[in-house]
Amino acid sequence: MKFYSSILLFIFGINIVIYPIVKGYKDRYYQLNTESNVVCEYDVAFNQRWCLSVQPSSLGMYVGFKQLIIYSKTSIQAVNLMRQEIKWTIPLTNIYKLHINYPVILTFSKDGELTGYDFFTGYQLWKKSTQYSNLFESDVDVWMVKDRGIQKIDVISSDILSEVDFDGDVESIYGNDVFLYVQLEGELFHYNLLNQSMHQVGNRFNVLDQSSDMLLIGSTFQQQLRTFSNRIISENVQERLFKVHTPTKALFAYIRGDQLSFIDKKGGVSYQFTQTENKGNIIYRYKLNNKVRVFYNDGQDVWILKHLNKKQYDQDT
């Protein structure tokens, strides 16, 4: 199962984040302090291993494929995890969006210039002027928005791989290499790339959140969980859902009493646990084995999980 680990970021007009940003990667944690502009690595017990000063006004970070990448409005920096030093920098000027993922980092400027950089070296692979108006991603695919349609590009060469025409302005795209959820002028549609069929989803629905294998969609009055193939997992979501990250994927979860339940396409798994007294705003959750490390603006806790019997979910999660 694929894990959505890429970064797709609006650079233009974004505000500077002032709380710590945390990412789990395998049995390590990386925390970026956006006030002091310092990134630190921690072990599985959250003991500090090292810290490194990074660029001013950092906005966030990507961790994956043994890479730690820090980005701001003005540059992208890659950290050498062995030597704990900056190994390369990509300067940014007039950039509207970033796409950070293996094997190519993309920058898309406000005047339509699209540039590809090697993921490991930061070396510029290509640059081209375009008439595209936006950039979206679905799993590892990158889609560029043109006049009333989209084009999938090869990130290594910038060649056009496929094209889909839509009768309306494309506002957002979610999905994988077979199925897309496309927001067109306020309405949500499901599109099958294999047979080119398209169906409207709900009435004035939007994509509210996304895990590794499903989406939370809905409106002010109703929320649903659906797979990328448009199969309904829960037609009327009643619980407050949140995401928990693991070393391989991100899962939707919810708490009911003293049980924490994770949802997947086949059903779910529940654990008994005891919530801690910290009632602050949770910014990140990472599950490793039988523990979930929970990060707040001003601290962290560990939830110890006790496995319960696997169960199948009904249509009202």
Q: Between 2.60.120.10, 3.40.50.300, 3.40.640.10, 2.40.10.480, what CATH number should domain 131-207 receive?
A: 2.40.10.480
Give the Cα separation of 55 and 72 in Å (integer): 8
- pLDDT tens-place string over residues 287-309: 999 999 999 988 889 999 998 86
- pTM for the whole structure: 0.90
| Residue 63 vs residues 42, 48, 67, 224, 229: alpha-carbon distances, Å | 13, 17, 6, 30, 28
Q: Where are the domains of the chain?
A: 1-127, 131-207, 240-317
- CATH fold for domain 1-127: Lipocalin (2.40.128)
Residue 12 pLDDT > 60: no
Q: Is the peptide bond before 20 cis (omega within 30 degrees of 0)?
A: no
- Which residues fall within 8 angstroms of residue 129, CB to CB, at 6 or more apart? 112, 113, 114
CA nearest to 234, candidates 288, 127, 315: 315
- pLDDT tens-place string over residues 227-280: 999 999 999 999 999 999 999 999 999 999 999 999 988 778 999 998 776 667
Give the Cα separation of 181 and 189 in Å (integer): 6
Give the Cα separation of 205 and 190 in Å (integer): 11
CA angle (22, 3, 116) in 5-degree steps: 85
Give the Cα separation of 291 and 252 in Å (integer): 16
Residue 153 pLDDT > 90: yes
Q: How many residues does the chain have?
A: 317
Residue 65 pLDDT > 80: yes
